[in-house]
C-alpha cells in the first residue's frame, strides 16, 4: 500500500549551505538552509512482500522489546539500554565492537527541545564520519576500525506509544543517484559539523512502516566505509497527522560499529 506524504528536500546551490543552531545565544533558535516541500508516494512495509536486509539495503526493521520504558528521567537507564543495543547489533548485523555515543529523544511538540528532523538528509558525509571516528577512538585505533571495516549505525524506536503521526521515512538507497547528495554544514555555538542533504529526484522510492510500537526498532546505516548503503531519511508529514491524539515520541541512538 502507498500513502501520500510531504517531505522537505534540499536545493542544490553553488554557495555553501548550513543549519545554524542556537543563533544569537537563544536555545532552539535555528536558521535553516532553503528547503522545498514536495509531495511523495511512500510504500508501507507493514504488509509488504519486501523485507529490507541490512547487508544489502543498509536497513532492517526488527521486533526488539526493551526493558527500558522511560528514557527521559536521569541517566540510570542508559547502561541497560546500551547493553540491549550492543547485543542487538552483534546479533543482527555482525558487529564485533559497538560504541554508543549519543541518545536523542524527539517529540513532535512545539515546546520540545528536539523535534523530528523534517529535512531529507543523512547524518554524515565522508569527512564528517572520518572526523567523528577519530573523535571517538583516537588516531591509532581509527586505523584498526578502517582495516576491519566500520559503520555508523542508528537504532530508532518509538517511545511510550504507537507512532500515529510524523513517522520516519526512508529512500530506497538503490533508487538514489550520486548527484542527489550535497554537503550541508552544521554550525553550533561551540563546533562545526557536516551532514548530507538530498535533492529531489522523481526516481526516489520512499518507504516506511506504519503503526510502529515501542517493541519495534529500525536499524539503519548512516555511514559505512565498506560500501554498504546509507539511508536518506526524514520525518513524513501525512494528511492524517492532524487527527493524531498523541504526538510522535521516539529515541534514536547513534553507534559506531567495528566489524571483524
Locate the domains of the chain by residue range.
2-46+53-258
Work out the angle at residue 173's Cα, subtended by the Cα atoms of residues 126 and 164, and round it to the nearest 5 degrees. 105
pTM to 2 decimal places? 0.94
pLDDT of 1: 84
Q: What is the rounded distance in angstroms from the CA atom of residue 124 to the CA atom of residue 19? A: 14
Segment among 12-26, 57-71, 119-133, 159-173 with least mean pLDDT: 12-26
pLDDT tens profile 179-200: 999 999 999 888 888 899 999 9
pLDDT mean over 8-20:
94
DSSP 134-196: HHHHHHHHHHHHHHH-EEEEEEEEE-SS---SS-EEEE-GGG--GGGEEEEEEE-SS-EEEEE
Q: State the sign of the Cα–Cα–Cα–Cα dihedral 206, 170, 2, 238.
A: negative
Q: What is the DSSP letter of 90?
A: H
Q: What is the DSSP letter of 222?
A: E
pLDDT of 191: 83
Share of the chain above pLDDT 90, in %: 83
Residue 43 or 240, more confident: 43
Q: 207, exposed or middle or buried, with CB in 10 Å at 0-12, 13-18, 19+?
A: buried
pLDDT of 240: 82
pLDDT mean over 207-228:
97
pLDDT band at 66 (very low <50, low <70, confident <90, very high): very high
Q: What is the rounded distance in angstroms from the CA atom of residue 191 to the CA atom of residue 113? A: 19
**Which residues lie closer than 8 Å to 128 by C-beta, 6 or more apart?**
193, 194, 195
Residue range 2-46+53-258 in CATH 3.40.50 = no
Amino acid at each position: 500500500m502507498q500513502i501520500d506524504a510531504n517531505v522537505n528536500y534540499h536545493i542544490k546551490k553553488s554557495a555553501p549551505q548550513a543549519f545554524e543552531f542556537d543563533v544569537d545565544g537563544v536555545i532552539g533558535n535555528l536558521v535553516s538552509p532553503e528547503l522545498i516541500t514536495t509531495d511523495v508516494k511512500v510504500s508501507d512495509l507493514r504488509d509488504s512482500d519486501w523485507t529490507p536486509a541490512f547487508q544489502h539495503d543498509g536497513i532492517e526493521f526488527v521486533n526488539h522489546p526493551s526493558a527500558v520504558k522511560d528514557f527521559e528521567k536521569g541517566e540510570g537507564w542508559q547502561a541497560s539500554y546500551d547493553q540491549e543495543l550492543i547485543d542487538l547489533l552483534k546479533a543482527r548485523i555482525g558487529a564485533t565492537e559497538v560504541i554508543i555515543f549519543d541518545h536523542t529523544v524527539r517529540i513532535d511538540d512545539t515546546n520540545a527541545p528536539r523535534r523530528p528532523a523534517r529535512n531529507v538528509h543523512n547524518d554524515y558525509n565522508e569527512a564528517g564520519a572520518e572526523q567523528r571516528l577519530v573523535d571517538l577512538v583516537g588516531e591509532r585505533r581509527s586505523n584498526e576500525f578502517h582495516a576491519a571495516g566500520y559503520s555508523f549505525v542508528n537504532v530508532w524506536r518509538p517511545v511510550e506509544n504507537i507512532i500515529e503521526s510524523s513517522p520516519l521515512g526512508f529512500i530506497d538507497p538503490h533508487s538514489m543517484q550520486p548527484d542527489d547528495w550535497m554537503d550541508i554544514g552544521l554550525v553550533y555555538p561551540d563546533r562545526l559539523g557536516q551532514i548530507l542533504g538530498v535533492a529531489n529526484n522523481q526516481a526516489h522510492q520512499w518507504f516506511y512502516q506504519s503503526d510502529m510500537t515501542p517493541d519495534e526498532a529500525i536499524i539503519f546505516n548512516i555511514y559505512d566505509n565498506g560500501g554498504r548503503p546509507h539511508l536518506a531519511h526524514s520525518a513524513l508529514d501525512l494528511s492524517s497527522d492532524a487527527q493524531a491524539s498523541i504526538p510522535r515520541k521516539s529515541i534514536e541512538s547513534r553507534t559506531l560499529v567495528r566489524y571483524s
